[in-house]
Structure 1
Amino acid sequence: MEQIFFRPENAYVGDFIPYYENGEFKLFYLHGWRENYDSSKDTGWFLLSTKDFMKFKEHGACKINGGTGSVIKKDGIYHMFFCQFPDNKQLVCHAISYDLKKWTKVEEDTFGPDENIYEMTDWRDPHVFWNEEKQEYWMLVAARERCEGNRKGCVALCTSTDLKKWNIKSPLYSPNINVGAHECPDIFKIGDWWYLVYSSYTNKFGTYYRMSKSLEGPWITPKVDTFDGRAFYAGKTGTDGKNTYIFGWNPTKTDNIFHWNPEGYKGNDYNTWDWGGNLIVHQLVQEADGELYVKVPDTIINEFNRIVPQNFNPIIGKWNIGQDKAKTTSKYSFACALAGDMPDVCKISGKLSYKNDTKELGFVLRADSNVDKAYYYKIEPHRNRVVFTSHIMQSEEGGKTLPYEVEIERPFYSEVEKEYEIKIVVDNSICEFYIDDKVALSTRVYDIKNGSWGVFVSEGEAEFKELKLTTL
């Protein structure tokens, strides 16, 4: 089976820890066996490498059984910082290596939080970098500040001159917003701007960033402070010296924890999101004002070079259809045109624009012949967002069962009659939707296994151009 977004055989990927050297990314990650685990299998940190995010070489277990962290090199020695959880404690740990494969834990360097500054319950995901201005190493830690109330989530700060003895400082960032610790903290610089990245599963669920021209702050919240939606988590960044990428995971949906499935339903689309899944890599793009956007890496998109001929047919409403374009005016109703069947792995692309007062427009995936069942990526101009909805929300059972209006959404501030480029990368159950090399929205599609793709408009007027489907 073809696969774009990496997942090890019979297992799942969790948090990634990227390290770049000698022309390739060394991607450490947390390896999850789930139902395939037995005591003979290694757990914890594993390593794979890639030059293009399409072809991967697996190097196996690092024999480090712990949680997320970081890797840094000093004087020819690699230093791994990670976390472990003995006896309900959370501790930062240190290991060294000369080849990135065989690691030795430095037991005496293990340490926990200062209980005068931080809660003892959260002390994990250490990220270490060299602070050139201060001439010392800084470590960021996912923590909870000791303070009044329950909004204690923060990014803790520790400093060191030798990577062994660490001085615990007051938080680098503590906004009193999130209850949980700011997980997987990360920091990097492009031009004049520093960027602080963290993930949170309380208040809202996602990977966030803040920006500042100084490590001392203030840490500014940008207009759109996330890189993706609910189906992208634990993002950490890495650079090849030219481009910066963020590495996260698109979770699977195997458990029905909240029992939302209608009686007798056997699918996965209703299920809750798991911990871990497949690797997703977005390339970061810096705008003139310093804010960050994401695009699909060129090394991925360029692999889709086989054009599959498509023939659009109007299914609902009146359409003006050309060879690779479709246009409709449907101011008071829904209109949809379908092309050919979708392969399991493919890229769908095109450009779209809309007229004033258009309520919804976008793409349908794996639709049946009448568009009674399909997945939808919808741009909603009046709500400044792009959303994903599945066939569930079109059904009576879904409408009665699910306590929300959309399944996943992202802010998207669009303009009337402006043309936007769309790229959709589909890898079996994974869908990655990109707008204009700026906005990404990841999701999963399980229960409709095949069908057609197409375009739609609801209560408005829109035009779609340069529509095509390509495969590997």
Structure 2
Amino acid sequence: MSAPYFHRPADGWVGDVIPFAHADRAFLFYLHDRRDPARPGTSWNLYTTSDFASYDYEGVSLPHGGLDEQDLNAYTGSIVEDEDGAIHLFYTGQNPDFLTPDGDLPAQVVMHATSTDGMQSWTKHHDETFGAPEGYDAADFRDPFVFRPTAEEPWQMLVATRELSGPDRRRGVIARLVSDDLVTWKPETPFWAPGRYLMHECPEVFELGGHWYLVYSEFSDAFLTRYRISDNPFGPWRVPEHDTIDGRGLYAAKSLELGGRRYFAGWIPTREGESDDGAWQWAGNLAVHEVTQGPDGELGFGMPHALRASFTEQQTLEFTPYLGAWFGSPTSPEVSVPDGYALTLSPPAPESFLLSVDLVIGPETTECGVLLRAEGDEGYLIRLEPRRGRMVFDRWPRRHTGPAQWQISGDVAHQVELERPAHLAPGPHRLSVLVDGTSCIAYLDDKVAMSARIYDRSAGCVGLFVGEGTVAFTAVSVATQS
């Protein structure tokens, strides 16, 4: 069943998203994962939206090929519109029975389809299929992204691939090809070869506010979507202070512009066994962040404005102290615990809601934040740590590794793969947490996003906590959609 905020179809899960804006709507194509052991093929399915608050599910858009066709698996790519209004879809074709020239692994190739009826149907052009040019790994040649810096320049195609020599984890490169007609493609010098990662999946380039951005996802240092900034579309690229879009909880994010705003769409991965301790899996639920831009070009990531506005049923929460000497009012609690810990709890919250917390952090505060689905001092924690400059996701109790009291994964201070760097200077901040079923996203000051899964606890209170510090929670509310 599709969740109201974080969507997925009833018969599958959302993999890599390929966003495209057309006729004032966002077309969110995605790789449809059925998790069928028979592996019958991967199609491009589609969600559409005009505001990222409500969605229409359109089902299969680009069907995958048959067992004897190169595109049994139609993997990630991109979409552009040409001067005549025809829409071109470039995608990765892969079939386990179609091997590379050396016969070791399935080949990955670039394939082409077009539409002249507003993407109601696609015509595949199998005769235009091509694989990796000389010098690149034919088994890793995927995720073609096509763009044109200006109308006077040739079309550019970026492809995630690998060089054939060098340390294995450093061979990732983004290849570049050019075309005047979107049919014939000529290899050029590599677009980006930093000698840094194993692979740069789902590459993308766009311009925003006078800056150019390169976006890619990597899984060798960490499972993250990263970005770089430049003054022109071909680099050189600089690394911003905080170069990630989210943590491990959102992967393969790519963007589009709609209504003068830019949005990133990706997927929140599920966990094996639908358990907090389960391994992360490929594919999950659709999630979208709205972009803000700082004066130096650094990007921030917040909740889509129309989605926030859709939460019209708002309730101010009243809190009852559980630990510590709280003062202020039940709706605006404050506490000062220079060398201790304090917790205050609300009545039970709905299963799905938007939590908004305005707080003022005092100097030299070690930690503060919110407890979700709480029962006493147990639950999921969104913890702000000003001294360490980060927002983290934690839970209590943690995983037990044995019968002894100390066997509680105490050496893992939080879910480190979800950790987000953040500026947490003393003063006012806003924390927004969107909770829905087994998914949640925390947004700090509409600049920092942290996505997570919450399986093992399905209900409970909202808690506010402070550890070694002084914090005033000036306004706390829960809202639902009408």
TM-score of the superposed pair, with normalisation by structure 2? 0.90
Shift of 1:238: 0.4
| Alignment-derived partner of residue 200 in structure 2 | 182
| Alignment-derived partner of residue 120 in structure 1 | 138
The whole-number CA distance in structure 2 between the counterparts of 1:389 and 1:106 is 49
SS at match of 1:84: strand
Is 1:377 aligned with 2:378? no
| Alignment-derived partner of residue 71 in structure 1 | 79
Is 1:414 aligned with 2:419? no
Question: Contact 1:270/1:392 (CA < 8 Å) preserved in 2?
Answer: no
Shift of 1:399: 5.2
The whole-number CA distance in structure 2 between the counterparts of 1:422 and 1:307 is 16
The whole-number CA distance in structure 1 between the counterparts of 2:39 and 2:153 is 46
Note the alpha carbon deviations across 1:34-64, whole angstroms, 9 max, x for none: 159886xx73111221112232222221213
Runs of at least 4 residues off by over 3 Å: 35-39, 394-404
The whole-number CA distance in structure 2 between the counterparts of 1:113 and 1:200 is 20
Distance 1:36 1:301, change over 3 A: farther
Is 1:218 aligned with 2:236? yes
The whole-number CA distance in structure 2 between the counterparts of 1:245 and 1:147 is 37
Shift of 1:461: 1.4
Distance 1:399 1:215, change over 3 A: farther
Is 1:54 aligned with 2:50? no
SS at match of 2:290: strand
Question: Contact 2:379/2:397 (CA < 8 Å) preserved in 1?
Answer: no
The whole-number CA distance in structure 2 between the counterparts of 1:20 and 1:133 is 18
The one-letter code matched in structure 2 to 1:63 is P
Question: Contact 1:393/1:399 (CA < 8 Å) preserved in 2?
Answer: no
Question: Contact 1:312/1:321 (CA < 8 Å) preserved in 2?
Answer: no
Shift of 1:33: 1.2
SS at match of 2:271: coil
Note the alpha carbon deviations across 1:241-262, whole angstroms, 9 max, x for none: 500111101111125xxxxxxx
Is 1:107 aligned with 2:126? yes
SS at match of 2:306: helix
Q: Find the partner of 2:398 among 393, 396, 419.
A: 393
Q: Percent identity?
A: 35
Where do residues 218-257 of structure 1 align in structure 2 (5 Å cutoff)?
A: 218-255=236-273
| Alignment-derived partner of residue 294 in structure 1 | 301
| Alignment-derived partner of residue 274 in structure 1 | 281
Question: Contact 2:149/2:233 (CA < 8 Å) preserved in 1?
Answer: no
Shift of 1:462: 1.1
The whole-number CA distance in structure 2 between the counterparts of 1:270 and 1:394 is 7
| Alignment-derived partner of residue 27 in structure 1 | 28
Question: Contact 1:10/1:36 (CA < 8 Å) preserved in 2?
Answer: no
| Alignment-derived partner of residue 165 in structure 1 | 184
Q: Find the partner of 1:81 among 63, 86, 90.
A: 90
Larger displacement relative to structure 2 (143-152 or 78-87): 143-152
The whole-number CA distance in structure 2 between the counterparts of 1:400 and 1:239 is 45
| Alignment-derived partner of residue 285 in structure 1 | 292
| Alignment-derived partner of residue 13 in structure 1 | 14
The whole-number CA distance in structure 2 between the counterparts of 1:360 and 1:35 is 44
Question: Contact 2:335/2:470 (CA < 8 Å) preserved in 1?
Answer: yes
| Alignment-derived partner of residue 335 in structure 1 | 342
The one-letter code matched in structure 1 to 2:191 is L
TM-score of the superposed pair, with normalisation by structure 1? 0.92
SS at match of 1:89: strand
Question: Contact 1:113/1:168 (CA < 8 Å) preserved in 2?
Answer: no
Note the alpha carbon deviations across 1:354-407, whole angstroms, 9 max, x for none: 222211100000110x21x21000011111110000124386759545873320
Is 1:404 aligned with 2:412? yes
Is 1:435 aligned with 2:453? no
Is 1:348 aligned with 2:347? no
Distance 1:149 1:386, change over 3 A: same
Larger displacement relative to structure 2 (217-226 or 97-106): 97-106
The whole-number CA distance in structure 1 between the counterparts of 2:193 and 2:151 is 22
The one-letter code matched in structure 2 to 1:415 is A
The whole-number CA distance in structure 1 between the counterparts of 2:373 and 2:177 is 50
The one-letter code matched in structure 1 to 2:256 is G
Note the alpha carbon deviations across 1:292-347, whole angstroms, 9 max, x for none: 11110111111111123532000011101414211111111211001121111101
The one-letter code matched in structure 2 to 1:4 is Y
The whole-number CA distance in structure 2 between the counterparts of 1:395 and 1:461 is 32
SS at match of 1:54: coil
Distance 1:316 1:400, change over 3 A: closer
Shift of 1:115: 2.6
Where do residues 432-471 of structure 1 align in structure 2 (5 Å cutoff)?
A: 432-471=441-480
Q: Which runs of 5+ in 2 are unaligned?
A: 65-72, 100-105
| Alignment-derived partner of residue 357 in structure 1 | 364
Aligned residues: 454
Shift of 1:147: 3.9
The whole-number CA distance in structure 2 between the counterparts of 1:206 and 1:399 is 30
Q: Find the partner of 1:423 among 395, 415, 432.
A: 432
SS at match of 2:301: strand
The whole-number CA distance in structure 2 between the counterparts of 1:333 and 1:79 is 60
Distance 1:170 1:380, change over 3 A: same
The whole-number CA distance in structure 1 between the counterparts of 2:175 and 2:428 is 43
Note the alpha carbon deviations across 1:113-134, whole angstroms, 9 max, x for none: 1232x22231000010123176
The whole-number CA distance in structure 1 between the counterparts of 2:155 and 2:242 is 30
The one-letter code matched in structure 2 to 1:26 is F
The one-letter code matched in structure 2 to 1:242 is G
The whole-number CA distance in structure 2 between the counterparts of 1:399 and 1:223 is 37
Question: Contact 1:387/1:410 (CA < 8 Å) preserved in 2?
Answer: yes
| Alignment-derived partner of residue 311 in structure 1 | 318
Larger displacement relative to structure 2 (239-248 or 97-106): 97-106
